[in-house]
Amino acid sequence: MNKGLFDNIEDLAGRPLADRMRPTSLDGYIGQKHLLAEGKPLRESIASGHPHSMILWGPPGTGKTTLGKLIAGYCDMEFITISAVLAGVKDVRAAVTRAQQLQQEQGRRTLLFVDEVHRFNKSQQDAFLPYVEDGTFTFIGATTENPSFELNNALLSRARVYILQSLDSKDLRQIIDRAMNDAELGLADRGIELNDDLREQLSEAVDGDGRRVLNLLEIAIDLADSKRQSQVEEADLAEILSGTLRRFDKGGEAFYDQISALHKSVRGSSPDGALYWLCRMLDGGCDPVYLMRRIVRMASEDIGNADPRGLRIALDAWESFDKLGRPEGDLAIAQAVIYLASAPKSNAVYTAFNAAMHDVKTQGSAEVPIHLRNAPTKLMTELGYGKEYRYAHDEPDAYAAGENYFPDDMTPRNYYQPVNRGLEIKIAEKLDRLKVLDRQAKK
């Protein structure tokens, strides 16, 4: 493997297990078969020795950096890596200068690997474009965020995006077994065992993160070694795993994907699915107040007048959480989510509101009809404000049949159309009766 300009490669024994474990061949690379299986375009590109610029998008611990190093090694390229978290303009210029020197003096190609590339602002991203264009280096950007939102279109047009997936339990188990069995990695010769059940527990606890599984494995072996044990005990592994967290970024794409899944589960009348995504977000550290704001919105948007109790239950859950806090208040949130998911659904209020708002924004400021205006002063009364207003309570059935409540020059609209579910069945029946009375009054 080539030593990069910004690499600090120590002796093998002094490096973390996750770094010692990096494969030196594509056959040793675990996971991402959808990209690197025989015959796949990316593998063929690497095998040909002519890789293209690319963006590697995926969760932490899925092998983005490892893949970048493998590509450089296979294609006999200088591997230069910089981190967008730490690097500035000076580091970018140094990388460009080094790549140009290698090209001019040795005819050697360079692979520039930019970790966390989404952390660079748009103007910093633009700085790479001319050097990608003229072949100064092949560019690989690694990101955990959606490139569509975080990267310049100009950069995206010059680099193909590859999506790396979280490692499955089979991949993780293979990583654990290799780490335990390979004498060169330094674990096998320590004489400490990790039984099959504990290996499975470890692979299931790391949320698809290969780096994390190796870090936790090394901690477990070190702990057993310090206790002079011949194997990792279940209680010790449980203690090590007790601090692990599921992946949740509180603001990035994963966050919005999960709230979307919760909302769609409620809308789709799946209380079990909704409860799962609620627990995922609570477990991941989502602010419960944000969740309650969204849940109250769901009560109006997706249940509406099909079951008006849903809005009250959502608000009661919010109030209960405010009084109880966590974890006791979490159950009130769960109750509201399950109720809303189980309730009859109607988006009639939502669609009616949007249609009315569209008219308001596109039709100008129509005057309020004279008969609907209030007349708090003598002058207004003399001008006829409210003169022909019909007080509904004085009309038969408390309904002023045929009355117009829209501006005079606006054709009356029918925004609200109740659905044939829940309480809106009754609401629709009433509105239909009132429309009959309106027609009779006009005749």
CA distance 256 to 150: 15
- 53 and 84 part of one domain: yes
Domain final position from 163, 188, 218: 163
Q: Is 297 within the bounds of a domain?
A: yes
pTM over cut 0.85: no
**Sign of the dihedral through C-alpha 48, 50, 52, 53:** positive
Does residue 240 have a pLDDT over 90? Answer: no
Nearest to 111 by CA among 135, 134, 88: 135
Higher pLDDT, 4 or 374: 374
CA distance 31 to 171: 6
CATH for 320: 1.20.272.10
Tokens 């070694």 — which residue? 225
245-249, 401-405, 406-410: which range is least confident on average?
A: 245-249
Higher pLDDT, 385 or 302: 302
Q: Is 270 within the bounds of a domain?
A: yes
Nearest to 112 by CA among 60, 62, 51, 61: 51
Please say whether the beta carbons of 34 and 40 come within 8 A: yes
Please say whether the beta carbons of 182 and 12 come within 8 A: no
pLDDT digits (tens, 9 = 90+) for 320-333: 999 998 889 999 99
pLDDT computed for residue 267 by the predictor:
95
- 325 and 408 part of one domain: no
Please say whether the beta carbons of 198 and 47 come within 8 A: no
How many domains are contained in the chain? 4
Query: SS3 breakdown of the chain: % helix, strand, coil, rounded to 5?
Result: 55, 5, 35
pLDDT computed for residue 248 by the predictor:
56
Does residue 5 have a pLDDT over 50? Answer: no
- 106 and 153 part of one domain: yes
- 182 and 315 part of one domain: no
Of all residues in the chain, what percent carry a pLDDT higher than 70?
A: 94
51: Cβ contacts below 8 Å, ≥ 6 apart: 45, 71, 75, 77, 111, 138
CA distance 309 to 279: 23
Does residue 245 have a pLDDT over 70? Answer: no
Residue 161 β-bridge partners:
55
Q: Is 175 within the bounds of a domain?
A: yes
Q: Is 349 within the bounds of a domain?
A: no
3-state secondary structure of 336: helix
- 20 and 159 part of one domain: yes
Nearest to 321 by CA among 338, 306, 334, 307: 334
Token duo for residue 122: 């748009």
Does residue 91 have a pLDDT over 90? Answer: no
- 173 and 235 part of one domain: yes
Looking at residue 369, its amino acid is P
Q: State which residues form the domain around 407.
A: 365-442
**To the nearest whole number, what is the mean pLDDT of the chain?**
87
CA distance 137 to 5: 13
Provide mean pLDDT across the span 116-127: 87
Residue 249's pLDDT band, with cuts at 50, 70 and 90, is low
60: Cβ contacts below 8 Å, ≥ 6 apart: 144, 209, 211, 212, 247
3-state secondary structure of 142: strand
Q: What is the β-pairing status of strands 78-83 and 138-143?
A: unpaired
- 16 and 155 part of one domain: yes
- 206 and 337 part of one domain: no
Q: Is 266 within the bounds of a domain?
A: yes
Please count the other Cβ atoms lying within 10 Å of the Cβ belonging to residue 154. 13
- 258 and 376 part of one domain: no
Domain final position from 110, 137, 163: 163
Provide mean pLDDT across the span 93-118: 92
In 292-406, the DSSP E strands lie at none
CA distance 126 to 148: 15
Residue 244's pLDDT band, with cuts at 50, 70 and 90, is low
- 102 and 152 part of one domain: yes
Does residue 2 have a pLDDT over 50? Answer: no
Does residue 393 have a pLDDT over 60? Answer: yes
pLDDT digits (tens, 9 = 90+) for 193-233: 999 999 999 998 888 899 989 989 988 888 888 888 889 99
Task: For the sheet with 78-83, list strands across it.
Answer: 78-83, 110-115, 138-143, 54-57, 160-163
CA 215 to chain centre: 25
Nearest to 138 by CA among 64, 61, 216, 52: 52
Does residue 418 have a pLDDT over 70? Answer: yes
Cα distances (Å, whole numbers) of residue 407 to 7, 359, 367, 373, 376: 72, 12, 6, 11, 21
Residue 113's pLDDT band, with cuts at 50, 70 and 90, is very high
365: Cβ contacts below 8 Å, ≥ 6 apart: none
CA distance 93 to 265: 49
- 209 and 234 part of one domain: yes
3-state secondary structure of 377: coil
- 156 and 17 part of one domain: yes
pLDDT computed for residue 54 by the predictor:
95
Does residue 66 have a pLDDT over 90? Answer: yes
Does residue 10 have a pLDDT over 60? Answer: no
Residue 9's pLDDT band, with cuts at 50, 70 and 90, is very low
pLDDT digits (tens, 9 = 90+) for 154-195: 899 999 999 999 999 999 999 999 999 887 776 777 888 999
Domain final position from 182, 211, 241: 241
Nearest to 171 by CA among 12, 34, 15: 34
Tokens 């009054």 — which residue? 441
